[in-house]
Structure 1
Amino acid sequence: MDVILLIKAAVMGIVEGLTEFLPISSTGHLILTGSLLGLTDAKSKVFDIAIQSGAILAVFIVYWARIREALTGLASSDKQRRFVLNIFLGFLPAAIVGLTVYKAIKAHLFNAPVVAGAFIVGAFIILWVEKVAKPRPRIQSVDDMTALDAVKVGFVQCLGMIPGTSRSGATIIGGMLLGLSRKAATDFSFFLAIPTLISAGGYSLWKERHALSMADFPMFAVGFVVSFLAAWACVRWLLRYVSSHTFVPFAWYRIAFGIVVLATWATGTVVWAD
């Protein structure tokens, strides 16, 4: 057993778990960390996809009571049917866009200037929303959302396909601009992550299944478990954080990370290509 490889898998799991649901783009962090650890081959790309499953499981655990309430109430409750329908409607734009243009996005936008630009532009949008726009929420809970609200957030989520943008950042900040409270936008972002990441990850794993073998199981298992634990802690922390804090610190972090992306690209430390 390659202990060093397992340690690298654990580090990648931590990075995935901590960045998947924060508005700082997990993709950019995984590319940088993978390059620094020497995990850049085809199998490593499949590994990056696989460890998302641990992060998704964390959301299931944290929100299990609400998910179970929705599933058991589908047959008898209009509220639960509306909740499930809104999740589906919010997911639909990303599914359509992903199937039609994501290949082109990967081919033309996956480079350092775009990633760094998305980090920095996203940071200024966060600062603008928090410091200038200060949208007044009209929706305090995901249960108050209409179908149109869900579709609008779903289209905003599509911006997260641009490398460096952050899916969670797009949905949370976009949701706030559309009238959701900070808590409602964060909750809906997490709920949307479940079908979005499962479908995207499952599709990618199926396409890359030839790169998998049983010999890789220990590495994948370590990454999955560590990603789950890191994401579980991160989601629980973020839910407490948003109750009394803004996203301004994440904006400044995004600017710093955007500079790191440009520096590693200019020096050749990291190959920012898919």
Structure 2
Amino acid sequence: MLDIWKAIIIGIVEGLTEFLPVSSTGHMIVVGNLIKFTGPKADTFEVVIQLGAILAVVVLYWKRCLRLIGIRDQKAPVPSNGRSLNLLHILIGIAPAGLIGFLFHDYVKMLFRPETVVIGLVAGGIFMIIGERTKAAATQAMTMDDLTYRQCLYIGIAQILSLWPGFSRSGSTIAAGMLTGATRGASADYTFLMAIPLMAAATGYDLLKNFDQFTSADLLPFAIGFVVSFLVALLAVATFIKLVSRLKLTYFSYYRFLLAGVALVFILTGAL
């Protein structure tokens, strides 16, 4: 029962933070250490329930997902410039982080500690401030349909930074999008849509790599955490995506700095 309650807590944390540029992984690592939910199984659990939150994006963007595979809603408006986001845009965006994550998977997992999260929270917050304050003067992409392949590549390269826990995948990619001339909203939409195949691949790889460590007793906590993460994210996703599109990244950076300070206090006092 103790593991089930821990799974519920982590699932709620994931569902609430996945769609904000504050690092859901960083939050789960800090909270997991506070409630003594750590180890290889906990690390894999955190990846699996992220997929639960990502499924909420599938629900929100289901029409867009169908368009990516060639199924278009006849009632959907066609972009005025004739362009539309396609699978190649998505593949270009996920390729850099996907490749580095695959090649250095074990090294990345070694970073899943509160100390590295503190560094990631601060560094990611600084990068987000840079993205907000030095964004491109001319807007080149009002919506994600306006994104070019080059912009997607730059966003994808920036996503490599999110392999460091605490840096934030959405924070790094939204900031990078703004630096390339995309609006905050276009960058956020592309970031969340791009997360679907990336997180699905990461979850599948993690499960296969650590399959021998799991027993039937692990299925229930994993399933509960997955469902809780999905349901909480489903309730939060629409509101949070609008919030990310409207609020400056600077505000989220301030929260990250505060969280890093609190986590550092916990580390120094031995609570983490």
- Provide the TM-score with structure 1 as the length reference: 0.87
Query: How big is each residue's C-alpha offset from its partner over 1:3-38, in whole Å with a ceiling of 9 and x where there is no partner?
Result: x43222111101111222211112221111111222
What SS class does the counterpart of residue 30 from structure 2 fall into? helix
The answer to whether the Cα contact below 8 Å between 1:105 and 1:162 also exists between their aligned partners in 2 is yes
Query: What is the match of residue 65 of structure 1?
Result: 63
Counterpart of 1:95 (choices 98, 108, 111) is 98
Counterpart of 1:189 (choices 188, 191, 195) is 191
Q: For 2:183 and 2:140, how far apart are their aligned partners in 1? A: 7
Compared with structure 1, are the counterparts of its residues 233 and 90 closer, same or farther at alpha carbon in structure 2 (3 Å cutoff)?
same
Q: For 1:110 and 1:244, how far apart are their aligned partners in 2? A: 31
Query: How big is each residue's C-alpha offset from its partner over 1:116-141, in whole Å with a ceiling of 9 and x where there is no partner?
Result: 222113223323443x3243421011
Q: How many residues align?
A: 263
Q: For 1:243 and 1:44, how far apart are their aligned partners in 2? A: 32
How far apart are residue 111 of structure 1 and its match? 4.9
How far apart are residue 227 of structure 1 and its match? 0.3
Query: What is the match of residue 50 of structure 1?
Result: 48
Query: How big is each residue's C-alpha offset from its partner over 1:22-77, in whole Å with a ceiling of 9 and x where there is no partner?
Result: 11112221111111222113332232222122112111101101111222348xx9
Compared with structure 1, are the counterparts of its residues 42 and 125 closer, same or farther at alpha carbon in structure 2 (3 Å cutoff)?
closer
Counterpart of 1:166 (choices 164, 168, 172) is 168
Letter of the 1:21 partner, please give it: F
Query: What is the match of residue 136 of structure 2?
Result: 135
Query: What is the match of residue 221 of structure 2?
Result: 219
Q: For 1:199 and 1:65, how far apart are their aligned partners in 2? A: 21
How far apart are residue 183 of structure 1 and its match? 0.7
Compared with structure 1, are the counterparts of its residues 206 and 269 closer, same or farther at alpha carbon in structure 2 (3 Å cutoff)?
same
How far apart are residue 191 of structure 1 and its match? 1.3
Query: What is the match of residue 29 of structure 1?
Result: 27
Query: How big is each residue's C-alpha offset from its partner over 1:172-229, in whole Å with a ceiling of 9 and x where there is no partner?
Result: 1111111111110001100111111111111111111112222222212211111012
Runs of 4+ in 1 over 4 A off after TM superposition: 77-80, 109-113
Q: What are the residue-to-residue correspondences of 1:111-130 with 2, within 5 Å?
A: 111-130=113-132
Q: For 2:95 and 2:141, how far apart are their aligned partners in 1? A: 21
RMSD: 2.2
Q: For 2:112 and 2:68, how far apart are their aligned partners in 1? A: 38
Structure 1: 5+ residue stretches without partners: none
Aligned-pair identity in percent equals 38
Q: For 1:183 and 1:97, how far apart are their aligned partners in 2? A: 27
Query: How big is each residue's C-alpha offset from its partner over 1:92-147, in whole Å with a ceiling of 9 and x where there is no partner?
Result: 1112211223433444x5555543222113223323443x3243421011111121
Query: How big is each residue's C-alpha offset from its partner over 1:219-264, in whole Å with a ceiling of 9 and x where there is no partner?
Result: 1221111101222233211222244322232111100111122222
What SS class does the counterpart of residue 246 from structure 2 fall into? coil
Deviates more, 1:208-217 or 1:224-233: 208-217
Structure 2: 5+ residue stretches without partners: 73-77
Letter of the 1:17 partner, please give it: G
The answer to whether the Cα contact below 8 Å between 1:17 and 1:231 also exists between their aligned partners in 2 is yes
Compared with structure 1, are the counterparts of its residues 191 and 255 closer, same or farther at alpha carbon in structure 2 (3 Å cutoff)?
same
Compared with structure 1, are the counterparts of its residues 219 and 123 closer, same or farther at alpha carbon in structure 2 (3 Å cutoff)?
same
- Provide the TM-score with structure 2 as the length reference: 0.88
Deviates more, 1:35-44 or 1:8-17: 35-44
Compared with structure 1, are the counterparts of its residues 220 and 166 closer, same or farther at alpha carbon in structure 2 (3 Å cutoff)?
same
The answer to whether the Cα contact below 8 Å between 2:83 and 2:146 also exists between their aligned partners in 1 is no
Compared with structure 1, are the counterparts of its residues 218 and 114 closer, same or farther at alpha carbon in structure 2 (3 Å cutoff)?
closer
The answer to whether the Cα contact below 8 Å between 1:49 and 1:205 also exists between their aligned partners in 2 is no
